Structure 1
Amino acid sequence: MTSDDYGIREREALTERYPGLDVLVSDPANAQTASRTNLASHLTPREEHYIRTHHRTPDIDADGWTISLTGLVEHETDLSMSELRCEFPTESVVHMMECSGNSRRYFDPDAEGDQWGDGAVGNAVWTGTSVSAVLDEYGAATDGGLWLSAMGGEAPPDKDVFCRSIPMAKVVDDCLLAYEMNGTPMSAEHGFPVRLIVPGWFGNNSVKWVEEIRVMETMVNGEEWTDRNGRDYTQYQQSSYRITPAQDNEPTRHESVDVFSTYDQLTEAVEEVENAYLFDQLVKSLIIAPADDSTLPVSAVELAGIAWSGEERVERIEISTDGGGSWDDAEFVGPDLGPYAPTKFRYVWEPEPGEHTLCSRATDEAGRTQPATLSKPEQELRGIENDQYPWNQKGYGNNAYLPHAITVEVTE
């Protein structure tokens, strides 16, 4: 079988298993929800929840899978899935997880990587074991300045290992080693048998197929993080998932940072961390009804949408029907599913005939608001300035509201 034949077969199989997804690449599997309307439900079914992978999806026997706990611990151990499920309390969290490359296609010129639209996001109930409980059981150090590095077990011998370092303060607060998604064991593409869940943070931090967790004084960094096969453990922490302007060849590496807010790194802390790390999610919103390019009658129209953020809840939603020229407040609707769940909103609009550009703008409890536009590479922005989100080489973090606007035609 040729690689082309394999790719075609994988795409067909992926489409059959996930009929609500638009498959960008099948080998490795990368797919986004096919329509904004798929985000209208309170929970995103797994068939419509985006998939992001760097290597081929592994076929794992859960009965033989273990998670190694190493580093600054009194008792290193290999934890089986049975022990994880049965010997620790079970916890759940509702988390609106967004791929850090979501909305990459709106950058001009194109940024590197798969051209995600705005569907690399989904809301699910993740169930598993508190990482804090595991660390406590085996005498791990949990001081505030430490880090926990999680390593995925999917990388082949000739590929870099997917590894992310999470600050210990976040780990002990609410991170999970999850084995269920929406009440049933998660699928292989979503991380079966176990993945790290970092609530409110970009999906690149929620490592799938977790094979090892290591308590450390620093983030993964340095030549010692290359194994005997030449696989690098630092790539996805120190080089990828950083805001890198066009003029930078390689982002500055740090052993540790004190500012964990992505937004703060993109604003007030730019001098300290020139190339922001993609940690917690940025405040963002989408209008999901009516659909883009709709034709509407001259009568009252209900606009519906969804908003989410990172460590802070969404506090305010504004709607503009003239491309950002003027704004009016929308109202929140639906149940409160927790601090990391999305917020639904509605707005009743009585339009005049003509073409209208509709956009939404969210603000969180910390006063962080979506910027308006995207900068150009030649501006060499490293952070959010003058209501512009910075163009960056990998197209990460785009939460500007104008690129996500929709256009409708109102007729008599």
Structure 2
Amino acid sequence: MSETRPGRREEIDAILDRKPGTSETRDEADRYTVVGAASRATFADWLTPIEEHFVCHRNPIPEGDAESWTIDLAWSGDGDAVELPLSEIVDDLPTVAVAHTMECAGNGRGQHDPETGSVQWGCEAVGTAVWSGTPVRSVLRAGGLDVGDAASDPTTHEGDRWLTAIGDDSTEEETFARSIPLSKALDDCILAHGMNGEALPAEHGYPVRLVVPGWYGVNSVKWLSELRVTDGMVTEGSLDRPGTHARWQQDDYRIHPEGTTPEHTDTVPTADTWDQLESPAVEHPYTFDETVMSLIGRPTGEEPVTPREGSVTVRGVAWAGDDAVRGVEVSDDEGETWHDAELFGPNYAGAWRLFEYAWEPDSGTHTLASRATDEHGRSQPATIGTPADGLDAVESGEFPWNEGGYAANAYLPNAIEIEVTDDA
């Protein structure tokens, strides 16, 4: 294992002090600043407090303040960039709020067997916050882009233009850049400067970040410094910047078998991650839209439970990225039998739903699991496949083991062992 990079230890300690509901997650190479929800109880509530929301980034938090921060806007082939002060964006353009379940694409990486490298997340790298900020559509229009020329259908991206976001944590050696379809950016994305009614915390991207509702967290670039509208995704050499700048789009955050190097491409026919897994048109899928997933928040498994009037309330959350959750089932026998749970509470596109189930257990030890199904009828698989299965594992009902450990949504690795005591 390499030595912890300079400044990382101090940064993690400071974040843990500010966020008492989180704990540090194991990072095999000590390259990232990572903390996640410390208790499963986080997943029993719809809104995730800032104090419990996960954090993940590679480079040190850049310095800067909202008054002096600017964002460069550039259009492919249309001359010099336009510089917009963040203060003018906040003061002069509309402010909206969006609910977004942000999940690290590596959530569940630590459940792969054999282990993949990097951050060994269990299920703690997900949370739902209400983000306030300025619609990307308004920002691009203020910079001079005729948004009426953009593709208008956020569900298909054939022939779409792309929006590339660049973070200020970029270095001379490496640019942190991510591209999303322009139609998605115009549909529901914002430049966020607030979180849960408070100013955006430093570790969450202060003073401004891109928020892409329903998509994996890597797409929501923190410490946003530049937006470029282009004809394709970022590829090496396409940004005219020093160092490398396509790694985080084209190499990492791709789903591929062990020992495979993904080919760089400039577009995909769909941004739905599961559709890419099932489609021969995308050989090594990109992690954009979140896959269907659920987690039980209570009981937590941290202590025995005693039924009240014969039952125990099982509560949790379920999400499916851009898609709606159609239903959730609960099992107390490791998936042998299933029982329908009830969806309730807020129902916003891009954010998780709460579910409850009145469980009537006998005394003893039980394994509780939840399984969500999205509006297309796609359900969580039971397990993660093996490296030998490759991406073909999806055809046999398993989530494919992949070298980056991305997008895992199997339900058995997230099951909880519950001890039930006799009713007093």
TM range (shorter): over 0.9
5 Å matches for 1:197-212?
197-212=211-226
The counterpart of 2:183, out of the listed 155, 165, 169, is: 169
Counterpart-to-counterpart distance in 2, 1:324 and 1:396: 23
5 Å matches for 1:10-409?
10-24=11-25, 28-72=32-76, 76-140=81-145, 142-144=149-151, 145-158=160-173, 160-225=174-239, 227-228=241-242, 231-248=243-260, 250-267=261-278, 269=279, 271-292=280-301, 294-297=303-306, 299-336=310-347, 338-381=348-391, 384-409=394-419
- Maintained 8 Å contact 1:151/1:161: yes
1:410 aligned partner: 420
- Maintained 8 Å contact 1:74/1:140: no
Counterpart-to-counterpart distance in 1, 2:163 and 2:392: 27
How many residue pairs get aligned? The number is 404
Counterpart-to-counterpart distance in 2, 1:377 and 1:294: 36
Bigger mean CA offset, 177-186 vs 137-146:
137-146
Counterpart-to-counterpart distance in 1, 2:181 and 2:291: 18
- Maintained 8 Å contact 2:111/2:413: yes
SS in 1 for 2:396: coil
Query: Which runs of 5 or more structure 1 residues have no equivalent in the other structure?
Result: none
Bigger mean CA offset, 69-78 vs 177-186:
69-78
- Maintained 8 Å contact 2:12/2:34: no
SS in 1 for 2:67: helix
TM-superposed CA distance for 1:333, in Å, is 2.7
- Maintained 8 Å contact 2:321/2:351: no
- Maintained 8 Å contact 2:46/2:353: no
Query: Which runs of 5 or more structure 2 residues have no equivalent in the other structure?
Result: 152-159
Bigger mean CA offset, 51-60 vs 378-387:
378-387
Counterpart-to-counterpart distance in 1, 2:392 and 2:36: 28
Identity over aligned pairs, percent: 42
TM-superposed CA distance for 1:4, in Å, is 7.9
| Deviation readout 1:278-319 (Å, 9 max, x if unpaired) | 001111001111122643346311111111111111110111
TM-superposed CA distance for 1:5, in Å, is 8.3
Bigger mean CA offset, 350-359 vs 340-349:
350-359
Q: In the alignment, residue 21 of structure 2 is paired with which amino acid?
A: G
Counterpart-to-counterpart distance in 2, 1:39 and 1:375: 26
TM-superposed CA distance for 1:140, in Å, is 2.0
- Maintained 8 Å contact 2:206/2:222: yes
SS in 2 for 1:347: strand
TM-superposed CA distance for 1:222, in Å, is 3.1
| TM-score, length of structure 2 as denominator length | 0.90
Which contiguous aligned blocks of 4+ residues in structure 1 show a shift greater than 4 angstroms?
A: 2-8, 25-28
Counterpart-to-counterpart distance in 1, 2:255 and 2:176: 18
Q: What is the CA RMSD across the aligned residues, in angstroms?
A: 2.1
